[in-house]
Chain A
Amino acid sequence: MHSLRSSISFFVRDLLAPPGDICLTCGSRSRLTREWPGICERCASAIPWIDRPRCPYCGRAFGCPDCLRREAQHRSFVLNRSAVQYNETMREWLAQYKYRGHERYAPLLIKMISRALIRMQQEISFQLNHHQAGSREIWKPHLVTFVPVSRERLTERGFNQAEVLAVGIGELHKLPVVPLLVRSEHTGKQSFKTRQERIDSMKHAFDIEPRGFEYLQHTVISNPITSTKAAKYTTRSIECLRILLIDDIYTTGSTINTCAAVIQGEMQRCPDITTEVYSLTWARS
């Protein structure tokens, strides 16, 4: 009897309750946006998008002294673009997802980084078309890969945030996601280190994933996955392999650079192919 009464009252209250749901990020009850999964208008409007990167290399929203350093000239990746600036709010979101393990953030972060990829494509295509008049091609990477985490961290956390982002991108943009790297040693948490320490500890942190490169050799290079329209690609092998490297945050760029260098090093084995590594991260600090 009690349960019948309470369930009727629940049902009626549910009907009468104000519209909206609980916002994932601020916890208040309001109408959620359609565009950004799980968050309310107010939170969505507070996202610090990087729409016009000031630094053409690392995608920072303001002038970037790091990219003027001499060693920055010899980077192994072409450029980095990020979805958002890493402010207090974004730090909290990432912490909720990565450290607390609130995995309902994943669709939101994926949607956000996907927006950045679309902008990145537009930007690069515009640049290319500018140089080569007449071509109307949309720039597209051949495959997506991600920065790995150590086995230990993976079992502790249960997931690799960069991998989740990469898989999400792969799904939304119909791109193959290939793991090309493994973390060869446990370097400790990046967030506790200074710039120089990060760069030093990075040097031997990554190794290649042979099965990933095998797959690359067989599938992507000999049969590049592109749209059927570009039939010319299916017959001969590609000359320039574009790899999109995904990570959650770009701080000094040392992680991305080391990963790109390892990939470049391995690609030396195929001398007739030039490899370009592009980096896409969720946040730029």
Chain B
Amino acid sequence: MRLAVYGLWNGRSWTIKRSLDMRVDVLWWVRNREKLGRSGKMVFPSDAIAFSHALEIGETFAEQAGMGNWSLDEWHAWVIELLGEASVGAGKKRKAEVPGRVDLSFGAGAASLGDSISNQNGFAGWIWNLHEAAPDDVHRLLAEPAGAGRMDAALHTAGGMAELDGQAVLLNQLLQGRSLLASEVDALLEEMAPWLAGAWFSAAQLASLQGRLALDAGVAADARPGERGPLRLGRQGLPRCRRCGSEATGRTACAACGRADCAYCEACLALGRSRACSLLLRTAAGGHPAVRAAAGQSTAAVRGRWGLSAAQGDAACAALGFLAEPPRRGSAERSGRKWWPLAVHAGHIQPVGKPFAPSRFLLWAVTGAGKTEMIFPLLSSILEQGGRVLVATPRRDVVLELAPRLAKAFSDTRIVTLYGGSTERWQAGELTLATTHQLMRFYQAFDLVVIDELDAFPYHNDPMLAFAAQNACKPDGKFVYLSATPPRPLQREAVRGTLQHAKVPVRFHGHPLPVPKRISVKSIEQCLRQPLLLKRLTEVLRQSLERDAQVFLFVSRIRHIDPLVRILCRTFDGYRIEGTSSEDPLRAAKVVSFREREIRLLVTTTILERGVTVPRSDVFIADADSGLFDEASLVQMAGRAGRSSEDPAGRVIFASPQWTISQKRAVQQIVGMNRIARKNGYLKEL
């Protein structure tokens, strides 16, 4: 989009401001002229210019001698000069105009700069000493109908400004804790306040002048000094998306702002396109500091109220203690991991040296420990104090499954569930349950952010989601991470003591985790060629089938599934054996019939490593030495076994030709958890 820029003199220095609706700024500064001193002055030198140009002019503005006495023409020439420099600087290697097209000076990108700010459609600039009578052009500006997206009514008439005040308050309320692009604001208003939809620019401008709302560009030059290693020296600093934090690599001609090199972000396209000339509105939720949980609840009380086991109760109380702590100064700054949520420096959003940064707590709970139950006391402790809470989880089905349980536990709390295609997209509530991508629509909104399955796709290794999580939490808010298999750097931090954490080393039924056993089998690739080699594996599989267990057989490659299923069908006559993978349209149905014991052996890949609970199951991992199975996924797959209290001792077999470090670490982690559980007396029988 394009917007207006103007200069403001407060008696000491000039500042350059930008405006969505010039009428609002005029009326605002008339109202507040005392703040500008006796000689307050406004200069309106040119028609609307591209948003990105306006930002650049505002940011790189250097006052020049004699500016106070400049005539309108001098101001006009100055703007044109700056625009010329800006476009040359940005587009050195690019063609300034759309190539190949016959230039008729209209349409996208073809408008030349001089043309775009010349006095077309009767534009007239002005200089106005605010304590003198307004020039005619100002009156004309106020009387003329404003462009699309602005408030229709004449603002300077009685009631006009009062109405706008009301709109600004409403807009601010609706956008609290949000980070939304203009198109998203439209969608939100369409639902929440239809009369404002498509006509909120004036109100947004007023809210921004009042300091309640930040109007930014979706993509803008990176303000912070880039952390460049010696090998990246040659790389030019690309502009960054302010919504998702990614580098904006795309640059195209844009009809909305008229630039031939308007940058846009390719990383977060799914939530609407963020570009250098699109408006990003952000409001932090409320000025009041983040809510602390009430300290001093006894473990017994917590356990009794929420029906937790001893191990769950202890961990939940440790987390409650953490929530009751006052915020610590910059605790996040210390960890230097780039991909880690809190190490992503918020840069221009949070000025460096901000006293508070959200602190973190890790709930390291083994598979089947009942993580979800454990977050209930944490949520309730913040909700009871009137705080806002976010639970983010990587998968949509978890959101859908968790929502009714939360609704039951917190019956008098407004709960909003967000996922792609959710109907509650624009609702506000105290408790928000969302898939990770939805975090990008929030800005400093939550007192507590709980991130489930931190190590899982898509959160793992995605700096975009880390950035989003960071922005969604209040600067003095708290993070709680849930994971059965935290990534190694985090494990190390926990061991070193730089990360507060609590371990839940035992499952809810109080039996130890099944420890994987190893059998030596040739690689599946080889076995498929010589099925006799599978004998070792089929022997142990037969034992499991005969003890009436459901059998998971994990393989590393999708292409192994079908041949393996064929061989196994021949070997185990009378048992139903199926295979499934991410490419299987019948996946959901097969999982259901596996759970209902119709299918007895399911050959699958890592897609079923999490979230699937099948009672009385055994787990076999073929090619456990494959590079595709890391420590975390081995522990997760092993965690499918023995989850029900009727059959707590499921079998876990790693079948591989060689023993790898991942397998070793996975076994160590499981054994280690069992040892801690035994030491703390959480186990039922020894």
Contacts and interface: CB of A to CB of B under 8 A. Distances in A.
Contacts of B106: 179, 211
A222 to B, nearest CB: 15
Interface string A213-253: 00100000000000000000000000000000000000000
A211 B103 CA distance: 10
Contacts of B262: 158
Given A3-B227, A6-B229, A104-B266, A171 B100 contact: yes
B99 A171 contact: yes
A5 B472 CA distance: 31
Contacts of B133: none
B270 A100 contact: yes
Contact of B98 (A11, A154, A167): A167
B448 to A, nearest CB: 30
B250 interface: yes
Contacts of A6: 229, 338
A7 B232 contact: yes
Nearest to A102: B269
A2 B227 CA distance: 10
Interface string B97-117: 011111010111000000000
A103 B276 CA distance: 14
A160 interface: yes
A3 B264 CA distance: 28
Interface in A150-196: 154-160, 163, 167-168, 170-171, 176-179
A10 interface: yes
B338 A167 contact: no
Given A3-B228, A10-B229, A163 B108 contact: yes
A155 B104 contact: no
A106 to B, nearest CB: 8
A179 B229 contact: no
A143 to B, nearest CB: 9
A18 to B, nearest CB: 12
B100 A177 contact: yes
Contact of A155 (B1, B101, B264, B336): B1
Contact of A4 (B229, B254, B270): B229
B100 A167 contact: yes
Interface residues of A, number: 35
Contacts of A100: 269-270, 273
Contacts of B104: 179, 209, 211-212, 215
Nearest to B231: A7
Which of A10, A158, A168: most chain B Cβ within 10 A? A158
A3 B256 contact: no
B231 A11 contact: yes
A8 interface: yes
Interface in A83-107: 96, 100-104, 106
30 contacts: A4-B230, A6-B229, A7-B230, A8-B231, A11-B231, A96-B269, A100-B269, A100-B273, A101-B269, A101-B273, A101-B275, A103-B264, A104-B250, A154-B255, A155-B1, A155-B256, A156-B183, A158-B252, A158-B256, A158-B262, A158-B273, A159-B252, A159-B253, A160-B107, A168-B100, A171-B99, A177-B100, A178-B102, A179-B106, A179-B107
Given A10-B229, A178-B102, 7 more contacts: A96-B269, A103-B264, A158-B252, A167-B100, A171-B100, A176-B102, A215-B104
* Cβ-closest 3 pairs across A and B: A7-B229, A101-B273, A171-B100
Interface of A: 2-4, 6-8, 10-11, 96, 100-104, 106, 154-160, 163, 167-168, 170-171, 176-179, 209, 211-212, 215
